[in-house]
Amino acid sequence: MNWKNYLRQFLRDLRSQKLRAALTLFGLVWGTTAVTLLLAFGEGLQGRMIKNIRGLGENIVICWPSRTSKPWEGLPRNRKITVKDEDITALRREVPGMTAISGEYSAGNKKFKVGHKVIVPGLTGANPMFAAMRNLIPEQGGRYVDDLDMDERRRVVFLGDGLAHDLFGDAEAVGQYVNVNGMPFLVVGVMQAKEQDSSYQGRDKDRASIPATTFRAMYGQQEYGNFVFQVADAGEVGAAKDKVIATLAKLHRFDPTDAEAVRMWDVTENEKFMHTFMLGFRIFLGVMGVLTLVVGGIGVSNIMNVVVEERTKEIGVKMALGARQRMIVTQFVFETLLLTVIGGAVGFAISWAICAVFPAKFDEFVGTPAISLQVGALTAGLLGLIGFLAGYFPARSAARLNPVEALRL
């Protein structure tokens, strides 16, 4: 027998057993759709949560100089640690793998006034590197503070998108002036809207940034409230943190093992936890989908056992005419795999359609489901394995029948 004969036999059986074939296909379609959609929605949810985490910044560490908790080299504990420009310069020079660092001045209770509107948002003074580290991306037509603003201590301000809307409504904010504690500041940029699920001084959309030099000149503050640094590779964050502490300990003479002297928030730890959590969650979803698919495979196997019983005489005739066991096995495995392929293809098509029309308005909550290459390969592999096993064992039983006994049944 050749493949055309196998296919002809399959179509003949399909016409004679329409209901049985339809129920078998339904089980396969349901299982394939369940596996694919569960993994696709897991993929989308993970992407959304990682995006929210990275709204604060990617591969960054926020550091707050504090007070020592241990005596060191004859110096008492409870000494205040301060960080200035020269410390930032030393850290930039001494810490390998660091791609950017910026000190950060912060202030509240600064009145922003436009016309009759008065708002009291958070105010940040930082250098141009701060924007890239903290994902403060300006909308088209605007910018963040630059080196010239720093050098000339310009009165320019970068607004969060929420703050810009509160001050100017739907009007264009870039190029307008806002009074900050009675002093006019030119708006040079508005932040592009972003997702952000964590913060340390309030959401960026409700804050404003000015050049660090301007902030220092206005308020006479020399020490940074905190500083932020970024490394190229998340795997290097731990070594960079140790080097930062060691460098500051040398500059300010405190115990390098003093965890209270400089407190740190490693944002990459949040992302690592989320990756681990989502891996477990996606494995759970995958197992649920696989079990659903296995149930469909059991249904296929039961159907094929019934088919073998109904076609016992046909098998006996074929074997009496010289058909080998391999041909009998191949016929039944071929029919099972073909059913599996059809059911899998329909299930994939349904999953793809659901993902394609999934409302964008839900992206903010559960992300956009995506059928990745890994999801497709995993589902196809499972389908192939289940289809083969579902057809092989009934086919083997059929091939082992005695031709004479088969003809008597």
Whether the model clears a pTM of 0.85, i.e. scores above it, the answer is: no
Q: What are the residues facing 230 on neighbouring strands?
A: 60, 100
Q: Which residues contact 58 (CB under 8 A, 6 or more apart)?
A: 135, 230, 267
Give the CA distances from residue 216 to residues 124, 154, 222, 236, 404, in Å, rounded to whole numbers and listed in that order: 11, 12, 6, 32, 101
Residues 400 and 341 sit within 8 Å (Cβ to Cβ): no
Where are the chain's structural domains?
A: 3-53+272-408, 60-268
Alpha helices in 358-372 (DSSP H): 363-366
* Separation between Cα atoms, residue 70 and residue 77, nearest integer Å: 5
Give the number of C-alpha atoms closer than 13 A to the C-alpha of residue 183, restricted to the C-beta side. Answer: 13
Q: Which residues contact 362 (CB under 8 A, 6 or more apart)?
A: none
Please list the pLDDT of the chain residue by residue as tens digits (409 residues): 466 666 676 666 666 667 777 777 777 787 778 778 888 888 888 778 777 777 888 899 999 999 999 999 889 999 999 999 999 999 999 999 899 999 999 987 789 999 889 999 999 999 999 999 999 999 999 999 999 999 999 999 999 999 999 999 999 999 999 999 889 999 999 999 998 888 888 899 999 999 999 999 998 888 999 999 999 888 899 999 999 999 999 999 999 999 899 999 999 888 788 778 878 877 887 777 777 777 767 766 676 666 666 666 666 666 666 666 667 667 777 777 777 788 788 888 888 888 888 766 666 666 778 777 676 677 777 777 776 776 667 666 766 666 655 555 5
